[in-house]
Amino acid sequence: MAVRWLEDVRADDIDSVGGKGASLGELTDAGLPVPPGFVVTAGTYRTFIEEAGIDQELFDAVDVDAEDSAALADAEARAKDLILNTEFPEELRENILSSYDALDDGQAFVAVRSSATAEDLPDASFAGQQETFLNITREGLLDRVKRCWASLFTQRAIYYRQEQGFDHDLVNIAVVVQRMVDAEKSGVMFTSHPSTGAHEAIIEAAWGLGEAVVSGSVSPDNYHVDRDTGAVEEVTVADKKVMHVKDAETGETVEREVPDEKRTERVLSDDEITDLVAIGERVEDHYGTPQDVEWAMVDGDVYMLQSRPITTIDDEEDMTDTDSGDGEALVNGLGASPGVASGPVRVVTKLDQLDKVGDGDIIVTEMTTPDMVPAMKRAAGIVTDEGGMTSHAAIVSRELGCPAVVGAQDASTTLADDQIVTLDGDRGVVREGRVETDEERDPIEEARPKTPVKPMTATEVKVNVSIPEAAERAAATGADGVGLLRMEHMILSTNKTPERYIEDHGEDAYVQELVEGIQGVAEEFYPRPVRVRTLDAPTDEFRQLEGGNDEPHEHNPMLGYRGIRRSLDRPDVFKHELEAFRELYEMGYDNVEVMFPLVNDAEDVARARNLMAEAGIDIEKRSWGVMIETPASALSMDEIAEEGVDFASFGTNDLTQYTLAVDRNNGNVADRFDELHPSVLRLIEHTIEVCREHDVATSICGQAGSKPDMVDFLVETGVSSISANIDAVRDVQHEVKRVEQRMLLESVRE
């Protein structure tokens, strides 16, 4: 059967109609308010490609090396061409169009959505990769059905199926065609608390169509309802800047700015909340388990658009306190990454000793370098003689969720291979002996908030990512995106300078090294934005690599040949970084944003922008911006904004040291390093004010973004987003919410 009406679909039809189709059929059968529609079945897709004789050619076309981005691009183009340029058989064409004609006499605007057959494809390979089209009419329906089919073979989908060893010819997909609800307000509802299962409903709501909420393009209102009493216990009203609506003239879905008077207006009344909760309880009763429901409201009527079971509820929560033991303290330092780990010591004094580090070992070394990351991933804990809270070891350990003690001075000479120790990353101490724990640590689960419903804030809270290997853990925090992904760690981890790498392996290999590093993070966060900083490593770090002998010797590398000044001076190398961005855009990673470091003035920005355009990047379509790290750039923000930047992001480590003339790596003056110094704050405040005048977003991605005092100042000053370290994201979210609520309360009282 080519087409099945939702009213005839049940849960056990999932192989034929996919997860969305089966859910909507169940809701319809239960008498719940679901917009009418039908499903073009998964078998129809299979029949289409087989009867047209393109099935084998299609599967052969996408059987490519997943690491070859050029081959992936060709595969996507070929698959899309095969499907879109193959005519519908007349009988199938008539089946689909006659079904459409039965909706509102052929005048309906419909949503056309892909619906995965859950048993055919792992969720990780599918989520967010297939298409949804809104407000489609009869004229465009058949084309959109084929585009849903073709979206099985985007570069991203091909890449991840290849990576997981899943055969392309086992993939099937259904397409749901459903009458659009021209929603005035919409959102998501958890019928029970998604972490504890408590008897409370949690509702997110925004103006217009629900895609704005689901995609994360708007911060919605948040409501907590006690289902036992019906009382609305907590209301958070967000600043809802945009909404998705149907354009009255074209019928297409467009993004519009929310009218000023509605931006901070509460979306749902108490009566509407009561109606929603009542329907949510009916959905939960039908399925017998708590549900995550997408809903829409128009003219006071509520519609259910989708429902799925909540899978994050824990049966019980382990509250066991972990102690680092009473063994003799062997060395002391700074607790740089929290947690307790026990294991045998592996002292590493040379890079060729990294092979001796196995799973569960404790690395002890003078200091870590980027090419030690693979070994750091295997280790249970890390101890270094040198370094502070912003050292490579500290940053990478926090991102990997690996307990670490840094600046222990003599650890590499005091501790010995095979010695069993316990490292306490909270207290900064390494003790003799092992502490037995009842269960293995899972760094990714530890990063995941205990309560997955994050505080709703107008100020976005993003996360800093230093190395691609930390992407999964960073994404688990529930951050609104990545405020800083450092490109230099991808290069430094090769142990070669860019010039030497290109000389040894070629330009294409260098570009692919960057593409793969960024791609993993962009995929993990999609569609949330990932802001990638172009190369910003000082010459002293490059000198340690192969090819480093050609690097200039500088008295103070932090003031020297780095950031955009190096890139503009070496356009022959810089162009390959920009080529990597262009390839990522062509692969469909439209969530990647480009950020230029250490700019001084508008001339730096204009030259970088022009090189980006020469590399084939559409500077009007893509989001790009600059780091504000020098007083000169802060005081030149007016002119910089005129060059067309979309955002400006504060790098507080550099901004502080350049404003106060304090070398952050010099222990003799380290006590004078203060990101909250009034002069630093004045520069930040001035920049935010100028950016607001020019409609340029502002953010912070330095270490200071994780400090409560800085968070308070930034929110009160009007920053657009704050990017925090992985282990600080949820705390920053709560601090932002507290400050925003206080500001709202004060404005009401005035």
Q: Which residues are catalytic?
A: 392, 701
Single-letter residue type at 119:
E
Could you tell me if 522 and 498 are in contact, meaning their C-beta atoms sit under 8 angstroms apart? no
Single-letter residue type at 716:
E
CB atoms within 10 A of CB 204: 26
| DSSP track, 333-401 | -EEEE--EEEEEEEEESSGGGGGG--TT-EEEES---GGGHHHHHH-SEEEESS--TTSHHHHHHHHHT
Strands (E), 154-290: 173-179, 185-190, 200-207, 221-226, 232-236, 242-246, 253-257
* Distance spanning both ends of the chain, measured CA to CA: 65
CA proximity to 443, closest of 416, 469, 481: 469
With vertex at residue 639, the alpha carbon angle to CA 638 and CA 640, rounded to the nearest 5 degrees, is 95
Length of the chain equals: 750
For strands 429-432 and 482-486, give the pairing: unpaired
Could you tell me if 597 and 651 are in contact, meaning their C-beta atoms sit under 8 angstroms apart? yes
Rounded Cα distance, 281 and 188, in Å: 14
Enter the tokens of residue 688.
Answer: 């935010």
Could you tell me if 118 and 139 are in contact, meaning their C-beta atoms sit under 8 angstroms apart? no
Residues linked to residue 723 through DSSP beta bridges, in sequence order? 462
| Helices first, then strands: H and E counts in the chain | 29, 29
Rounded Cα distance, 42 and 2, in Å: 8
